[in-house]
């Protein structure tokens, strides 16, 4: 993978010699597998603000928190016991945050930096995120329980905001220059251009039509180069998310898991691991034909 952009929250790279099945599994891993810490329960002791308590609790649950979920244990089941104003601890796998705010000013805004842990530290990734406006004399006092989870548990645990996947901007088509010129001339205006004898897609529209009409035998198992753009919520850097997702058992031969580990076969085909054999080989089922073949175990 060749990185083309990295500014912390956004990481863009080109992934060559792969196919849509592998890249799509990588995208789903980012959304569903990588854990974060998130507010899962809120106990509101006092709320005299203009916002209803259930809406306030919902807003708090969506605030990204600067906590490394790798330091916490994931609960087997989420607790049915309700958090109370007198609760100070919940166990090794949980963190309790507090928010207490009032003002004498005519208008004020409670922001995410008012969410503090037991040591009084603000844990919000974006401290200036507005939570609720209040006026003089109004009070908001609450406790929030943070637990470890992943996107497959609930969308609020997602560590990414957007994952964009598209074939690389310059597509190396099997065309002679005159064919490329003819194709661009026949395509809707603004969709494609010819540069250095190759067709360059200048707009995302019409790609499916182009793919079906102009590239024979091109499908989800065809080897090509993809441009992938990952945008993080800020809990982790985008580069960390990419590294983490590629190391998950869904993708990695270092921790093969039958039924989940994807394998690239010869000819750009995609297979899923069926079994690891004693003779250092893998039995892999071709996702396209459903046939099972034996390959040397990747090193």
Residue pLDDT tens, the chain, 299 long:
556 667 789 998 888 777 777 788 888 888 888 889 999 999 999 999 999 999 999 999 999 999 988 888 877 666 566 666 666 666 667 889 999 999 999 999 999 999 999 889 999 999 999 999 999 999 999 999 998 888 888 899 999 999 988 776 444 454 455 566 766 776 666 667 777 766 676 665 454 454 444 443 344 555 577 888 999 999 999 988 888 887 654 444 455 667 667 676 666 566 677 888 888 888 887 755 667 888 888 76
**249 inside domain:** yes
pLDDT in tens, 126-181: 999 999 999 999 999 999 999 888 888 889 999 999 998 877 644 445 445 556 67
Query: 2-6 and 198-201: which strand pairing?
Result: unpaired
CATH number at residue 137: 2.170.120.12
CA 133-139-145 angle, 5° bins: 90
Count up the domains in the chain and report the number.
3
C-alpha neighbours within 13 Å on the C-beta side of residue 221: 16
Q: Hey, which residues does 226 pair with through a beta bridge?
A: 15, 167
- Alpha-carbon gap, residue 168 to 173, rounded angstroms: 12
Q: What letter does residue 181 receive in the DSSP assignment?
A: H
Query: Quick one: 150 and 55 in the same domain?
Result: yes
Question: Does residue 260 share a domain with residue 146?
Answer: no
Q: What is the CATH number of the domain that holds 274?
A: 3.30.1360.10
In angstroms, rounded to a whole number, what is the distance separating the alpha carbons of residues 135 and 102? 8
Domain annotation covers residue 124: yes
Question: Do 271 and 287 contact (CB within 8 A), yes or no?
Answer: yes
Report yes or no: 102 and 139 within 8 Å, Cβ to Cβ.
yes
Residue 298 domain flag: no
Same domain membership, residue 134 and residue 74:
yes
Domain that holds residue 255: 2-33+160-174+215-293
**Residue 228 and residue 139 share a domain:** no
Same domain, residue pair 119 and 201 = no
Examine the domain organization and report whether 89 and 150 are in the same domain.
yes
User: Which residues fall within 8 angstroms of residue 115, CB to CB, at 6 or more apart?
Assistant: 60, 63, 65, 97, 98, 99, 122, 123, 124, 144
Instruction: For 183-210, write each residue's pLDDT tens digit.
Output: 677 666 666 777 776 667 666 545 445 4
């Amino acid at each position: 993978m060749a990185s083309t952009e990295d500014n912390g929250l956004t990481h863009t790279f080109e992934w060559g010699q792969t196919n849509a099945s592998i890249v799509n599994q990588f995208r789903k891993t980012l959304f569903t597998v990588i854990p974060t810490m998130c507010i899962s329960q809120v106990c509101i002791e006092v709320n005299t603000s203009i916002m209803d308590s259930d809406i306030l609790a919902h807003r708090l649950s969506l605030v990204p928190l600067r906590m490394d979920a790798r330091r916490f244990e994931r609960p087997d089941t989420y607790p049915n016991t309700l958090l109370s104003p007198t609760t100070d601890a919940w166990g090794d796998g949980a963190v309790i945050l507090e928010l207490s705010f009032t003002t004498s000013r005519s208008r004020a805004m409670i922001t995410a930096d008012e969410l503090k842990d037991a040591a009084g530290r603000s844990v919000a990734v974006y401290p200036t995120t507005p939570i609720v406006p209040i006026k003089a004399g109004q009070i908001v006092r609450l406790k929030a329980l943070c637990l470890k989870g992943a996107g497959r548990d609930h969308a609020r645990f997602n560590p990414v905001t957007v994952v964009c996947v598209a074939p690389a901007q310059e597509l190396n088509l099997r065309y002679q220059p005159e064919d490329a010129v003819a194709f661009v001339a026949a395509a809707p205006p603004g969709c494609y251009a010819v540069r250095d004898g190759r067709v360059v897609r200048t707009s995302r529209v019409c790609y499916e039509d182009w793919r079906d009409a102009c590239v024979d035998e091109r499908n989800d198992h065809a080897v090509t180069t993809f441009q992938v753009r990952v945008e993080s919520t800020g809990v982790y850097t985008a580069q960390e998310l990419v590294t983490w997702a590629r190391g998950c058992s869904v993708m990695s031969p270092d921790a093969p898991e039958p039924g989940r580990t994807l394998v690239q076969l010869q000819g750009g085909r995609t297979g899923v691991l069926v079994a690891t054999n004693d003779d250092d080989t893998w039995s892999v089922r071709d996702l396209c034909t459903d046939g099972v073949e034996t390959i040397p175990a990747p090193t």
